Chains A and B, each alone.
Chain A
Amino acid sequence: MNNIYIYNTFINLLNLIELLINNKIKPYNIKDESYYRNLFDNIINLEQNNNIDIIPIIIKKIGIKNFNIIYKVFLSNENNKELIIYYFYLNYLKYKEKVLYMKNLKCVNKALKISKHVGNEAHKLKGFVRFKELKNNVLYAEIEPTNNILEIISLHFKKRMPNEYWCICDNKRNIISIYNKEKIIFIPKDKFNFLTNELSNNENNIENLWTTFYKTIGIETRKNDRCRMNFMPKKYWKYIIEMKEEL
């Protein structure tokens, strides 16, 4: 039988992996709750341990930099990310800092690649998010990123615009992050009611000005669609207002 361990949150996953490693258990796979059982699977649902103390414990063992790698892998869209985290962590405990250069180890190579990929997407989205101002002065943005980078970019905007009300909605995962000038909260989209979804009076005007600027700033004799596409892939165009006309 294939032993599949089930978890529900990131904290829970970390607790589970720590438990497995301490007891020298090699899982066949680790999956979240939505996993659909196969014929030969043996589903193991351990008691859900959500002890948050696990984070400092792990950071003490592997350092904050490597913890961030694990976190970013968790945010990715990768199919077997849990297993990659498990083996990355296991190998780190075995080889220590050296492991980062052992690119021949598949799990390490993958973990580093994925975390970089997630970091890159988060950085791109910090630029590509477009807010619209609603009637009640709330700034509202929608995104559909490949990886779950909502948390990373929300923290970025908290530092950048601490005195505005804003929310960012991930339409792919149906989560919304809301900032109330104090802290950010993340909730499922359907549990949140907008008081208004009407745009502020000024909004169309500003968007118009921006589109005008965008069109003027490009130099006709240097036109290079391929180069632009490389830097700004089409999958993001849907929510980038200046690109709507070209979509």
Chain B
Amino acid sequence: MELKEKLKILSDSAKYDASCSSSGSYRKNNGIGNAAPAGICHSFSSDGRCISLLKILLTNCCIFDCKYCINRKTNNIKRAIFTSEEICNLTINFYKRNYIEGLFLSSGIIKNPDYTMELLIETITLLRNKYHFSGYIHAKAIPGANNNLVKKLGLLVDRLSANIELPTEESIKLLAPNKNSNKVENIMNLIKNSKSRKFVPAGQSTQMIIGASKESDYEIISKSEYMYNKYNLKRVFYSAYISVNKDKYLPTLELPPLKRENRLYQADWLLRFYGFKTNDLLDQNNPNFNILLDPKANWALKHMEEFPKEITTCTYNDLLKIPGIGLKSAKRIITSRNKFKINFNDLKNMGIVLKRAKYFITCNGKYFIDSSLLKKQFIETNLILEDKEKINKSITQLSLFNE
């Protein structure tokens, strides 16, 4: 098979993995390449996702039969396998021309987990030792492989990840009968407990598919919170389910649930950086996010008794609870108010957007808008209206492009 054909098959099979970050690692250059701590995006694909890594599978042959996966063994698709040299050559040649930041190597399970893992290790060893490549490498650990192999691979790569795919054991049994979450969590545990600094320096991540199974947002976010706390994950990626197979256990969706995915990412950020807990955002009676309103605004409207917050005196953690104020804005407010008395004008000069925040703050005791208007209903309709305007705008502008 020609290399081009192989690349087409094996990147097509890899594209459903959401992870593409190249940040958080530092590696000394001893040949070609280094890892930029901030991460660099080299291109953006037609779906607007960043391309920073050469995202390919070593092979799309797979002994597993996961219902949602394009590469499941019962699918009649073209199969291919890269040789180690082919992968190394592609990586080095793309890297030299600055197309990519590094390699993201995953694989279908060929023969058995251990054999697949050995192939991955062989390829990456060749790339690191013979081609002296010091750029970023993200590899997938194969669940069920021998612990020693995971440790060996971990020393070669910057990031190692194992996908949990579905949030509950029940749906795993239903949709991915050959998998079980214990094996995945075993790998996460192994990575977490390693003490060496050279072992997976950029940390581990995982991914969950959204909308292929029946779980609510509450169950998904609870699972994320559990994994963040237990395994120190850097990221959990959420991937809106795309109908690639027909199966009686799978929903038939015309379009992936992108808005839901977006809400989950917003909630994920709230968990990691804003001091929120899953139970603040959702509960058994309210298990799904409001599609019309972002999770933080939704939370704020339910807790109107905590607002307004006084910008000049409230704590950093309180600032983070205000809708429309992010990490950078909160830091800016803190550093500035330590040096000066700030007013609404200063906030604008600092580059803080009051569009959403104005309903929830006072500055030196003053409201930004007429305080008699500040009723829950009024704020809610205004916040939703804003989002709608944004959506309408994008639709009209897109149609302009099409004409």
Contact = CB atoms under 8 A, between A and B. Distances in A.
Given A98-B339, A139-B96, A206-B94, A216 B40 contact: no
Contact of A127 (B52, B54, B335, B339): B52
A160 interface: yes
Interface stretch (B29-37, B60-68, B196-204, B373-381): B29-37
Contact of A210 (B44, B52, B99, B101): B99
B97 A231 contact: no
Interface centre among A129, A156, A214, A240 (most CB of B within 10 A): A214
Interface in B377-403: 394, 397-398, 401
A219 interface: yes
Interface string A204-246: 0010111011101111111111111011100000001010000
A163 interface: yes
Given A209-B90, A222-B258, A227 B51 contact: no
B44 A232 contact: yes
A82 B354 CA distance: 33
A117 interface: no
B34 A104 contact: no
A159 B43 CA distance: 21
B369 to A, nearest CB: 23
A205 to B, nearest CB: 9
A160 B340 CA distance: 43
A216 B47 contact: no
A219 B243 CA distance: 12
Given A101-B339, A164-B32, A223 B46 contact: yes
Contacts of B401: 225
Contacts of A206: 93-94, 97
B210 to A, nearest CB: 13
Contacts, number: 142
Contacts of A225: 46, 48, 398, 401
A74 B55 CA distance: 39
12 contacts: A123-B40, A127-B52, A128-B43, A130-B99, A133-B97, A159-B34, A206-B94, A216-B12, A217-B14, A220-B47, A231-B41, A242-B43
A206 B86 CA distance: 12
Contacts of B99: 130, 210
B279 to A, nearest CB: 31
A135 interface: no
A109 B336 CA distance: 13
A86 to B, nearest CB: 21
Interface in B1-51: 3-4, 7-8, 11-12, 14-16, 29, 31-34, 36, 38, 40-51
B320 interface: no
A101 B336 contact: yes
A126 B32 contact: no
B97 A159 contact: no
Contacts of A230: 48
A109 B349 contact: yes
Contacts of B141: none
A162 interface: yes
Contact of B31 (A123, A163, A214): A163
Nearest to B347: A103
A223 B34 CA distance: 32
Contacts of B52: 127
Interface centre among B3, B90, B96 (most CB of A within 10 A): B96
A131 B38 CA distance: 22
A223 B93 CA distance: 28
B194 interface: no
A129 B98 CA distance: 7
A230 B44 CA distance: 10
Contacts of A109: 349
Contacts of B251: none
Contacts of A44: none
Contact of B7 (A162, A209, A224): A209
Contact of A214 (B16, B45, B90): B45
